[in-house]
Amino acid sequence: MTDTLNEVAKKHLYIDGKWQEAASYEPLYSPYNGAQIAEVAEASEDETRQAIAAAAQAAPIMRDLPAHKRAAILEQLAHLLQERSEEAARLIALEGSKPLKAARGEVARTIETYKFSAEEAKRIHGETVPLDAAATGEGKIAYTIKEPVGVVGAITPFNFPMNLVAHKVGPALAAGNTVVLKPAEQTPLSSLLLAQLLEEAGLPAGALNVVTGDGKTVGDVIVTDDRVKALSFTGSPGVGISIRSRSGLKKVTLELGSNSGLIIDRDTNIDGMIERAVSGAFGNQGQVCISVQRIYVHEEIFDTFVQKFVEATGKLKLGDPLSEDTDVAAMIAPKEQKRALEWIGEAIEQGAKVACGNELQDGLLLPTVLLNVDPEARIACREAFAPVVMINVVKDMDEAVAAVNHSDYGLQAGIYTSRLDTAFRAIGQLEVGGVIVNDIPSFRVDQMPYGGVKQSGIGREGVKYALEDMLETKLVVFNQSS
């Protein structure tokens, strides 16, 4: 696993602390220029079961590993990743077409996430229970302890191939669990680097197993195998609903995306936030679960906001994700670009106006701004996951809140306003998992609770909060009178 990024290397499975050859391999290509990057193992059902068996066998070892040792392993992982941070960033840019400066930001956040995980490993505890609050509890003492669930299945997407893995692997290991990790087919290389670093950090063999390949083949085994006790999945609502229905009695955390809304009140300082809004709309080509997809602007400042937003969008630089100054690169796959163009075309047919974009430049979809989009158009009511944003005019904040809520999703929403009453009314009325006041809905730091309502999923990420679904509570009662 010491090959350079320029070599077309064969990437094996990582099972039970060993690099294991697979029965078959598939080529991996750059989304930006189509060049072959690697040959990646395509795990079979049997190979996936081997990984689960290794995790199950290692579960008692991790269960007995003291908290300070689990924390030390995660701290060492953060240190090793810091040493190889530039390599990791270039790997993310290469396999996922994420602009290099954004990839560096992801690596920095990933390091923080593992540091948070190390800290939380030392904070796992139960509580005393006042049994004598009930008459039959007199003479008895009770307390709870937290224990790892065992094997955690982690299924991750392409858009944050290192940090979203960290949000599953970090809490799982902090809790004393073992992990079977299935990374996205397009972005497996950063997960294989993680396996290498954790091995170097001293993680026991079998505590992390990385199985690459087809989502259905590998994922179905992880979802249905009874040895897997908890699942953490980030992806589409359709797949998430299917996972929940087939997972039996496993604990399940699902982060299923959104079409996040941003509200702009009449008193907003546009110059102070416009670049932030543009970056939220087009960062990583809009392929972010909390990307700014829908913007609702008060009619008094609508024209000015649109003008400044389009001007700022025009300053973005498109190009090679490995270039230092690139802001927007290729979408993850040509079929996704085609889908985005179809949705834009549909919105135009239904009366939307194109303020900029809606064309290709050197094979890349230009950042696109649509005005006054029909709320039933797919670009408005589904997750675009593309460099496309709609801006609609509203008469007041109540109309804006209603427009944001007119969605099957509810992950995060943002509102810019200088009025406390408006902010608190929005906080109370917005049907989302997180309300960001005077910032964009794309805001996230890695220790905060992160998750949504409606079709945006169930459960919460953020290390402390993710741990809750990776632990079991055991009650202990002492009868002092016997």
* Residue 255 known to be catalytic: yes
Nearest to 290 by CA among 383, 377, 373, 358: 383
* pLDDT for res 5: 45
pLDDT digits (tens, 9 = 90+) for 454-482: 999 999 999 999 999 999 999 999 999 87
What percentage of the chain carries pLDDT values higher than 70? 98
- Say whether 75 is catalytic: no
The overall average pLDDT reported for the chain is 97
Q: What is the mean pLDDT of residues 236-251?
A: 96
Average pLDDT over residues 67-80: 98
Catalytic residue (choose from 47, 106, 199, 289): 289
Predicted confidence (pLDDT) at residue 1 exceeds the cutoff of 80 = no
| Cβ-proximal residues to 197 (8 Å cutoff; 6+ apart), any chain | 77, 80, 81, 84
- Calpha distance 52→218 (Å, rounded): 11
Q: For residue range 304-328, what is the model confidence (pLDDT) as tens digits?
A: 999 999 999 999 999 999 999 999 9
pTM, rounded to two decimals: 0.96
Structure tokens at 27: 């080529």
- State the angle between helix axes of 189-201 and 67-83 in degrees (0 to 180), rounded to the nearest 10: 130
Model confidence pLDDT, tens digit, residues 76-114: 999 999 999 999 999 999 999 999 999 999 999 999 999
> Encoding tokens for residue 277?
């809004």
* Residue 31 burial class via C-beta count within 10 angstroms: exposed 0-12, middle 13-18, buried 19 and up: buried
- pLDDT per residue over 268-314, tens digit each? 999 999 999 999 999 999 999 999 999 999 999 999 999 999 999 99
Residue 4 pLDDT > 90: no
Does residue 2 register a pLDDT over 50? no
Tell whether the torsion through CA atoms of 308, 310, 311 and 315 is positive or negative: positive
The mean per-residue pLDDT over the stretch 359-366 comes to 96
3: Cβ contacts below 8 Å, ≥ 6 apart: 9
CA angle 206, 212, 214 (to 5 degrees): 135
Q: Is the pLDDT of residue 176 over 80?
A: yes
